[in-house]
Chains A and B, each alone.
Chain A
Amino acid sequence: MKKLALILIFIVINLCAQDSKLDLKFFGTLGAVYNNNSDYKFRENPFQKDGASNSLDIYTDSILGVQSTYKLNDDLSFIFQGIAKKEYDGENKASIDWGYLKYDSKENFIFKLGKIRIPYYKNSNNQNIGYSKLTIREPIEVYGQVPLSTYNGIEFIYSNMINKYFYSIQSIYGETTFDTPLYSNNGDVLRTKIKEVRSLNLTLGNDIIEGRATYLYGRSSTTSNSLEELFTGLRIANLDELADKYEMDNKVSQYYSLGMFIDYNDFIFSSEYGERQVNAFYANLHGFYASLGYRFLSFIPYISYAQVEMDEQTVVDTGVDGLNELLKVQNLAQNSTNIGFKYYINENFDLKFEYQRIQPKGVYGGFYIDSTNEYPNSRLDIYSFVIDFVF
């Protein structure tokens, strides 16, 4: 509530200001999702408590946002983005998604300091801006591999041309902490801290084809009441080797991704591959997606396929039931097929419709789909409709 009040004050100050140094913009998505499978709750991200389960849900994709830029001088500016959406405890919440001080002297390099979005994937920085994207949601099989979106630190971007091609080098450094609620585990919360977050991203292309490669490194620590109990128990039982292997305590975590994007003669193709390696109870995994669309003026139908698989078997007999169970639930393998369209209404609005078929393969469901029952691994048919806007 306090954050909502802060954002409202922030908006009012902006609206009242006559100073041309201030710029205020709005964006949002109003949507509805229907999931035909009552055994699962379909969610957009791991922070949502509720989702669509044999019902129509209007909160899964809906989001309202405001972005304010204050120019200190020609080179320096403060930029903040606030969003309001339903998450965590099932309530609509407003929060500052990111905000930083930006230095851009138009010399082809940009420097940022503050709370910044992590540039894992092509659309990781604009995931909340539906109008800027072709599909309603980015494929969770790739975009869900690292469940964090921002860090506190610095970012450096350098862009230039080589012959007919442009390239961009993006590098970050910082740290982050975030909590993930575990709704199926008596309200327990997963507390994660990632130190030494470092990333290097390279982009090269022209206006037809673009390639992208990202490497991300961090030292991760994750705990919760139940995890603490489990690993303390292992150490008391002198099973230190087992605890050291699986406890996520300052563990090296790495992520690699490659992407290719083509926009040629109204054909739009995009594909990204991602690989997560965390040497702890989190399962190492890899996934990819490929999508193809065709632009008929304002109408763009598309089709896509995505899948994610674990690198290793998650059903392991460690000799400790609690640990076996923890490892087993890490299997989030699934695949999905999407067919949908985007229709540009004008420079401010678009509408989208999408049919998605998800086949969970993991023992306890897939990415962000929360089983309400005995994890039957049955198929989900998801129908989504949204209107995106920017002002």
Chain B
Amino acid sequence: MKINLLILLTVLITSIKAEIIIVTNKNSDINSLSHEAVKYLYLSKVNKIDNVIIMPLLSEDDSLHKKFVKEILNKNIEQYSSYWARLVFTGRAAIPRKLSKKEIKQKLMEKNTITYMDKKDMNKNWKIIYEE
């Protein structure tokens, strides 16, 4: 009985755990990105991949953002802040504004914009271009 309860609890925890995906408009010119490409785009090392200029969007959902930074960018939030301070204050890049869910939906109507989100928030207007 105890074992069954444990299995049920594990299944429940796994099912409610947010799974982060990278999505874009279904009409975008990109169909998939490598893990490295996602990292380099979000760290502003590159803006254009396979001749497509890609615009990454940031979410103002703090827990989602931290999870993305940790799991996809493989950095902790302190590293990420310090990294961006370097980019911003050397004039290399401007840190993108964090957007609300509504703003992200609006922006994703444009081709070749990408964002991270919980897989459960996926809808038919978008396509997944990266998931772990």
Whether, in the assembled complex, B76 has its beta carbon less than 8 Å from a beta carbon of chain A, the answer is yes
B86 touches A126 (CB 8 A): yes
Whether, in the assembled complex, B74 has its beta carbon less than 8 Å from a beta carbon of chain A, the answer is yes
Partner of A166, one of B40, B75, B82, B83: B40
Cα-based distance from A81 to B78 in the complex (angstroms): 24
Whether, in the assembled complex, B28 has its beta carbon less than 8 Å from a beta carbon of chain A, the answer is no
B91 touches A164 (CB 8 A): no
Give the interface residue-count category, chain A: 35 or more
Cα-based distance from A160 to B40 in the complex (angstroms): 9
B83–chain A nearest beta-carbon distance, Å: 8
Given contacts A79-B91, A129-B89, contact A106 B76 (CB under 8 A): no
A27 touches B89 (CB 8 A): yes
B125–chain A nearest beta-carbon distance, Å: 24
Contacts of B34 in A (CB 8 A): 164
A207 touches B89 (CB 8 A): no
Given contacts A126-B90, A166-B40, contact A131 B82 (CB under 8 A): yes
A127–chain B nearest beta-carbon distance, Å: 10
Whether, in the assembled complex, B46 has its beta carbon less than 8 Å from a beta carbon of chain A, the answer is yes
A160 touches B46 (CB 8 A): yes
Partner of B85, one of A81, A106, A390: A390
Cα-based distance from A328 to B47 in the complex (angstroms): 51
Contacts of A133 in B (CB 8 A): 82, 86
Contacts of B88 in A (CB 8 A): 25, 67, 390
* Residues of A80-118 whose CB lies within 8 A of B: 81, 98, 100, 102, 106-108, 110, 112, 117
Given contacts A132-B86, A159-B45, A295-B76, contact A106 B94 (CB under 8 A): no
Contacts of B73 in A (CB 8 A): 207
B94 touches A69 (CB 8 A): yes
Whether, in the assembled complex, A316 has its beta carbon less than 8 Å from a beta carbon of chain B, the answer is no
Can you identify 12 A-B contacts, CB atoms within 8 angstroms?
A107-B48, A110-B92, A117-B90, A125-B92, A126-B85, A131-B82, A159-B46, A161-B36, A207-B39, A297-B78, A350-B82, A390-B85
**Contacts from B to A (Cβ < 8 Å):** 34, 36-37, 39-40, 43, 45-49, 53, 55, 73-79, 81-83, 85-86, 88-92, 94
